[in-house]
Amino acid sequence: MTITVQYFARLREDLGRERDEVAATGELQTVGDLWRHLHGDPPARLMAAVNQAHARLDTPVADGDEVAFFPPVTGG
C-alpha cells in the first residue's frame, strides 16, 4: 500500500517531477516524516495538504493518503 505525494508550481519544477509514490511504513507517521524521507530537511515556507485539506509538518499521514507539497499560494 502506498501514499501518493504530489508537487505543485516552483516545487514541481525544482524537483523535476509531479509526484512520488511512497510505500507506507511505520516510520512515516507525519507529513514531515514523508518530506524528510524523500528530500531531507524541509525548506522554509513549505506548505502541505493531506487529502486536499491544508496540513502541517506534524499532521499524521496514513496508508492511501493523497499528500501534496507546494510553495506559498498566490491566487486572487
Residue with cell 514523508: 34
Question: Do 31 and 55 touch, CB atoms closer than 8 A?
Answer: yes
Query: Is position 49 an interface residue for other proteins (rule: CB under 8 A)?
Result: yes
Nearer to other proteins, 6 or 30 (CB): 6
Query: Is position 43 an interface residue for other proteins (rule: CB under 8 A)?
Result: no
Segment contacting other proteins by CB under 8 A, of 4-12, 17-25, 33-41, 56-64: 4-12
Nearer to other proteins, 14 or 58 (CB): 14
Closest CA to 63 of 1, 11, 19: 1
Question: Do 65 and 40 touch, CB atoms closer than 8 A?
Answer: no
